[in-house]
Chains A and B, each alone.
Chain A
Amino acid sequence: MTKRRTLPACAAKLASTALAGLFGLILAGSAAVAQDAAPVPDKGDTAWMMVASALVLLMTVPGLALFYGGLVRSKNMLSVLMQVLYSTAVVCIIWVFYGYSLAFTNGGSLNSFIGGFDRLFLAGVGLESNLETFTKGVVIPEYVFIVFQMTFAAITPALIVGAMAERIRFAAIALFIPLWVTFVYFPMAHMVWFWGGPSAYGDPAGFIFSLGAVDFAGGTVVHINSGIAALVGALLIGRRVGYRSELMAPHSLTMTLIGGGLLWVGWFGFNAGSALEASSGAVLAMLNTFVATAAASLGWILMEVVRGHKPSLLGAISGVVAGLVAVTPAAGLAGPVGAICLGFLAGAICFLACTSLKNRLGYDDSLDVFGVHGVGGIVGAIGTGIVAAPALGGTGIFDYATGAVADYSIIGQVLAQAKAVIVTVIWSGIGSLALFKLVDLVVGLRVATEEEREGLDLSGHGERAYNY
């Protein structure tokens, strides 16, 4: 639930300075008043958003990279680290060139779905540009919003690579990621998050925002979006050689725990940072990100034990990620107990998705991106409609028109959330399918069987992860 709203702080300051110059000391007092009228960013808010942005990078490199890397066989370790690092690097550049503009400016006649080109190469953004947060009259520097949202754009396509790990060509990733953020991610971010801000809530907003769906930190934009793309990718590229017949055990669950732990820590930046202020709402998001995650971890291993398996570390850390995904849309909206229920449910359901559902359907989503991010994201998006209800301890949804929390209908909100899920699934499904097909035609998705046997580290990158 972020948005952009440029305030003319620069103009106001220039005007007041000019006035002071023209009329000298006599008008100095009124000039100061005029300056006060233009909101100035709070240094605490700005500092927090800078820290939050760095935390989201920590989620990706090295968090997600190690989480994924530990799950593959040692011969493919570097390929996965490389795919995540490449994705981060290329998206950061694209974000500054045109990504931010497409996601967070007014797109004119296409504004429901995509932004425009006003901020190409960050044109027009300066040290004096500020954006309004969720509080009327509270602003943060536009630069920090750009940085924060850049880290979101960077992690989302990096999530997808896990589904095709151990068999995708690096060239395919290199081409797919820029295409996917351009045609799938930026429009999704715009549809969900673009609005006028508290001072202009009536302005045209993104399509999904207009449906009344809420998504605090990106359950639809980041997780359902990447989860569906991952499923499409896994289906198109086919199963790994030796799938279900050879030992494909994770080569280092220790690394996976380190990566998963960094994801959890970084996620505080992701979720609590999405409040855009160092506010009590941000702290609530942080608390929920703690407890929903803990509950999901317990939910996953409980399901393992109920199913007659041993409680596994991989299960516990997978549950952590499932809980983080599920609480993302609800982070600043649920109460702590609601978040615990949501997390626990997500842990249990994602367990079933990664075991029973995947086995039944027979697709090879190497690292369960769909099972955790897709399914967990859908559970979270729908569940947000329930746990955000004030009657269940949630915050409800603030109505900027009346300046108070609006009346809340659980059924109505769940329906709005479901619509958002459906739009996301369709948008990501069709967009990803088209782009994967295109990439397959241009460079080919999959490595040769011989290279797959040898491992992508040597065949694709000419190095190996462990030399001893």
Chain B
Amino acid sequence: MKLIMAIIKPFKLDDVRAALTGIGVEGMTVTEVKGYGRQKGHTEIYRGAEYVVSFMPKLKIEAVVPAELVERAVEAIAAAARTGQIGDGKIFVTPVEHIVRIRTGETDRDAF
């Protein structure tokens, strides 16, 4: 079981959701986040006052998937979220030790 955490451009959410659903990923959590990497930020000007805004709005997607799906899920996210422009985001994969479905008490693979 792995946790896939992807930071993507906000407008790519629907594409990514469709791609993940297409390979059998059954759920995900989405959070609005701000951050920067190579994209740095942008400049906003209000009546001549310039502000450098470092943190760009992004979405963070979290999905836990069984080991055999991880590679395809990562590829699906990368393909769906790519624009080729700077600021497309990143994907992180980390191990997950334990899962519990609160309603039924099912655990691990049964809890997907």
Q: Which residues of A contact B (CB under 8 A)?
A: 244, 247-250, 309-310, 312, 314-315, 318, 354-356, 358-359, 368, 371
Contacts and interface: CB of A to CB of B under 8 A. Distances in A.
Nearest to A355: B48
Contacts of B44: 249
A247 B51 contact: yes
B46 A359 contact: no
B86 interface: no
B39 to A, nearest CB: 18
A354 B51 contact: no
B46 A355 contact: no
B48 A358 contact: yes
B47 A309 contact: no
Nearest to B52: A247
A247 to B, nearest CB: 5
Contacts of B51: 247-249
A349 to B, nearest CB: 14
B32 to A, nearest CB: 14
B35 to A, nearest CB: 16
Contacts of A318: 47
Given A250-B46, A309-B45, A355-B47, 7 more contacts: A247-B51, A248-B51, A249-B46, A318-B47, A354-B47, A358-B48, A368-B47
A354 B45 contact: no
Contacts of B47: 314-315, 318, 354-355, 368, 371
B53 interface: yes
B49 interface: yes
Contacts of B53: 247
Contacts of A355: 47-48
Contact of B48 (A249, A310, A359): A359
Nearest to B44: A249
A358 B48 CA distance: 9
Contacts of B48: 354-356, 358-359
Contacts of A310: 45
Contact of B45 (A244, A247, A312, A358): A312
The 6 closest A-B pairs by CB, nearest first: A355-B48, A354-B47, A247-B51, A314-B46, A309-B45, A249-B46
- Which interface residue of B44, B47, B49, B53 has the most chain A CB atoms within 10 A? B47
Contacts of A247: 51, 53
A247 B46 CA distance: 11
Nearest to A310: B45
Nearest to B53: A247
A115 B26 CA distance: 80
Contacts of A314: 46-47
B45 to A, nearest CB: 6
B49 A248 contact: yes
24 contacts: A244-B49, A247-B51, A247-B53, A248-B49, A248-B51, A249-B44, A249-B46, A249-B51, A250-B46, A309-B45, A310-B45, A312-B45, A314-B47, A315-B47, A318-B47, A354-B47, A354-B48, A355-B47, A355-B48, A356-B48, A358-B48, A359-B48, A368-B47, A371-B47
